[in-house]
Structures are given as structure tokens and as C-alpha cells.
Amino acid sequence: MKLKICEKEYLIDDNRVKRDSLLNILYYIKTKLDHTLSFRSGCRSGVCGSCAVRVNGVEKLACKTHLSDGDIVEPLKNTKVIRDLVVDLENQKGCLENSKAHLDKRSDTQITSKDEKAIDLQSNCILCNSCYSSCPVYEVNSEFKGPFALTRVYRYVHDKKELNIQEKIDTVQSSGVWDCTLCGNCNMVCPEHIDIKNDIMMLRNISVQNGYSDPHMANFNSGFDTNFGFDPNQF
Ligand code: SF4
Ligand code: SF4
């Protein structure tokens, strides 16, 4: 079968393509066909998130993906390519830090299994960066805090061990929850099936409960004609 990887075409035996994961094929190409091919991998079992790439334009973990004839493999989008499938993830790491998506002031509250369950899904994020690659807002605004940072903020806002919740809510007001278009692209590519879009909507609700409002709606209302074109002064 013919596979296109980073603009280069490789002919791979049909049985190998049917049998092996994309990650194993990348290792095969590197060891047998093209020593220069560069890619990232870690656990080889869908846990570390380091092998995320795009297949035919859709973000996938290479270790969990099988290819077909003519498939095109490319690096993640919305970031600088260092070489072949290896991309620069510094900005995304910065998004996480800027979002205060970590435990800040620890309480002594006892955590129950029910409390753990409430943030279990968000805690499963493997930082594969697929969501940032698929996000149309991050594509045009690298200041946008972005999907995994926001879902992680949601996780810590609901962590009973965290005392400094207000700071997290304050932090996601700028280039954060209100900038998301709720398109759901991030949900569709997340290998952990995290409902990121819902987490962002929930953060919006919490923001409103804390006195914030959608800044875009404020702009919209300021230009709205509440008389619907009717001028009471004309009579
Ligand atoms: S739902 Fe929001 S965070 Fe997710 S991809 Fe769309 S714009 Fe980005
Ligand atoms: S939220 Fe999902 S897609 Fe985004 S980094 Fe985490 S595991 Fe990957």
C-alpha cells in the first residue's frame, strides 16, 4: 500500500499495514526505509499522548490507529513543526500555566470517592494536544487558553482540595471561556472522550454565578435598538 507521511510517499507491504498500528509502521519506516523520519512516541499504549498526529486531517494517536491505502499522515496543526511529525508544544504548555490549572491552596477536606468521580473524566487528559490542533479559535489566536487548559480549570474548580477557586474563575475570563465558539471539534478528537465543550459551558455558568457576563453579548446589546425602529417622538 502507498502511504504519504509528511509529503513523502512510502510503499509498505499490505499485510503489515493491515496488521500494525501507525506507530509500528513509523518505527518500521525509520529502521528499514528512512532513518531521517522523525516522530514522538512514549508508552506505545495510548497512555502518554505523545504520538498524536493527523491522519487524513483528523487528530489520532498513532499507537491506536490503523491505516488504509492512500492515507495521509501529517503533524498536528496550529503549531510550529520542528521536523516531520515532531511539533513545538511550548505555547500549549504556557496555556496550562497561564490558566492556573493546578492545585494552589490545599484544604484538609476529606475527599470521598464521589468527589473523585466528579472530576475523574477531566483527570484522564493525557495532554496529547489533539484538541489544540483541531481548535479553530486557537488556530487564529494563540493567546486563547484553549481546550485542555479550560477542561483542567473545570477539574480544579470542582476539586474539594482546592481553596483558591476564585482566582481560577477570574483567570479564564480573558482569552478563555467566552472566546470558545462551542464548535465541539475538541470533543470529536479527544481520545479520552472528555466532554471539553460541556466543561467550558459549565465554567461559563460558574462565571455568571460569580458576577461575570459574556463580554461579546455586552457589545451586542449596546447596539441593539430596543424600540424595534419605532420612534415614539415622531407623534
Ligand atoms: S469547542 Fe471551543 S475549545 Fe473546543 S475546539 Fe471548539 S472553539 Fe476550541
Ligand atoms: S483534552 Fe483530550 S484531546 Fe485534549 S489533550 Fe487532553 S486527552 Fe488530548
> Which residue's alpha carbon is at the smallest distance from atom 3 of ligand 2?
190
Task: Write down the architecture of domain 2-87 according to CATH.
Answer: Roll (3.10)
pLDDT score at 217: 80
pLDDT digits (tens, 9 = 90+) for 185-204: 999 999 999 999 999 999 99
More confidently predicted of 131 and 231? 131
| Torsion angle of C-alpha atoms 102, 98, 83, 7, degrees rounded to 10 | 100
Highest mean pLDDT range out of 183-192, 209-218, 220-229? Answer: 183-192
Ligand 2 pocket, mutate which of 58, 92, 99, 130 (most atoms under 8 A from CB): 130
pLDDT at 218 over 90: no
Q: What is the DSSP string of 30-63?
A: IIII-TT-----SSSSSSS-TTEEEETTEEEEGG
Nearest-CA residue for ligand 2 atom 4 is 131
Per-residue pLDDT tens digits for 29-38: 999 999 999 9
CA–CA distance, 219 with 187 (Å, rounded to integer): 29
* C-alpha to C-alpha distances, 154 to 34, 75, 176, 194, nearest whole angstrom: 43, 28, 12, 12
Residues 20, 88: contact at Cβ < 8 Å?
no
Task: Quote the crossing angle between the two packed helices 196-209 and 147-157, to the nearest 10°.
Answer: 50
| Ligand 1 centroid to residue 181 C-alpha, Å | 6
- Provide the residue type at 206 as one letter: I
Long-range contacts of 30-34 (CB under 8 A, 24+ apart): 34/8, 34/10
Specify the CATH superfamily of domain 90-214. Answer: Alpha-helical ferredoxin (1.10.1060.10)
Which residue CA neighbors atom 5 of ligand 1 most closely? Answer: 135
High-pLDDT (> 90) share of the chain, % = 84
pTM of this prediction? 0.90
Average pLDDT over residues 206-218: 91
| 8 Å CB contact between 2 and 69 | yes
Neighbours of 4 (CB within 10 A): 14
Ligand 1 centroid distance, CA of 196 (Å): 8
181 lines ligand 1 (CB under 6 A): yes
Confidence band, pLDDT 50/70/90 cuts, at residue 216: confident
* Closest ligand 2 atom to 49 CA: 8
Residues 71, 53: Cα–Cα separation, whole Å: 13
User: So where are the chain's domains?
Assistant: 2-87, 90-214
Position 221 scores a pLDDT of 55
pLDDT of residue 224: 52
Would you give the DSSP letter of residue 112? P
**Residue 217 half-sphere exposure toward CB, CA atoms < 13 A:** 6
How far is 143 from 95, CA to CA, in rounded Å? 8
On the question of pLDDT at 145 being above 70, the answer is yes
Closest CA to 151 of 139, 135, 136: 135
- Reported confidence tier of residue 56, pLDDT bands at 50, 70, 90: very high
Q: Ligand 1 centre from 142 Cα, in Å?
A: 13
Residue 103 — left, alpha, or beta (φ > 0 → left; ψ -120 to 50 → alpha)?
A: beta
